[in-house]
Amino acid sequence: MEQDVKKRKAAERAYEIIEQKLSKETVLGIGTGSTTNYFIDILNKVNIDIHGIVSSSKESTRRLEKSGLRILHLNDVYHLDFYVDGADEFNDRNELIKGGGGALTREKILANSSKCFICIVDDIKFSKVLGNFPVAIEVIELARSAISRQIMKLGGKPVYREDFLTDNGNQIIDVHNLDLKVPLEVEQQINGIPGVVENGIFSKRKADIILKSSELGVENIALI
């Protein structure tokens, strides 16, 4: 089964899970990335009556225009009933690495504001220990070099993502070679460095449900 087919199957299962729980008061949160785009494609085709959607990026907002659904600002809602997003990497504790698309800060804000965070992935994203994918860090431009030096003290290899600005107007450092045996500790260490806006380790706010798509179908991995 091709990877794109796996992604589409995971997105379809996510919609099946939330479809029966939708109401006129429902607020959905939508992430950013190639797998999430398949979920957006579903929303663009179905006819649902919900309160609206909060998007994690300008790109996802643009893709959602065909849905006819109301795009809301997070400041105008109390919470998100569901947040659907993909991941660059995940482990068996539902901890994630995200940020390949550069929307990690808004994605983490939406995930933290959600009652239920559903992560849709294909099986090649699984790692027993996180770290195969670099950790993206959104940084204030002024502090980029100083932050990179601090990251090197943690054992990481920082690489500046050239010619890229986040939707917040900030820069990204992609960090390789971090020891992520205890992801929560590293997430907190990085966020404690002055000038760091956010990083792409999702350990404090894990996914509630991971929908892992493989040749055998879509497996529902719920956080107990």
How many folded domains does the chain comprise? 2
Q: Which of 12, 89, 107, 138 is catalytic?
A: 107
Residue 203 per-residue DSSP state: S
Residues 143 and 76 grouped into a single domain:
no
Give the Cβ contact number of residue 90 at 10 Å.
Answer: 26
CA distance 199 to 190: 7
Mean pLDDT (the chain, rounded): 96
Average confidence (pLDDT) over 187-200: 99
For residue range 45-92, what is the model confidence (pLDDT) as tens digits? 998 999 999 999 999 999 998 889 999 999 999 999 999 999 999 999
Domain that holds residue 64: 3-126+204-222
Residues 140 and 213 grouped into a single domain:
no
Residues 190 and 168 grouped into a single domain:
yes
Which helix (H) or strand (E) is 159 found in, with range? strand 157-160
For residue range 24-53, what is the model confidence (pLDDT) as tens digits? 999 999 999 999 999 999 999 998 999 999
Residues 214 and 117 grouped into a single domain:
yes
Average confidence (pLDDT) over 4-30: 96
Residue 216's domain is classified under what CATH number? 3.40.50.1360
Residues 9 and 53 grouped into a single domain:
yes
Question: pTM for the whole thing?
Answer: 0.96
Residues 58 and 166 grouped into a single domain:
no
Residues 60 and 153 grouped into a single domain:
no
Residues 18 and 97 grouped into a single domain:
yes
Residue written as tokens 């797998």?
A: 35
Does residue 16 carry a catalytic annotation? Answer: no
If we measure between CA atoms, which residue out of 86, 87, 72 comes closest to residue 28?
72
Give the Cβ contact number of residue 75 at 10 Å.
Answer: 6
Average confidence (pLDDT) over 128-147: 98
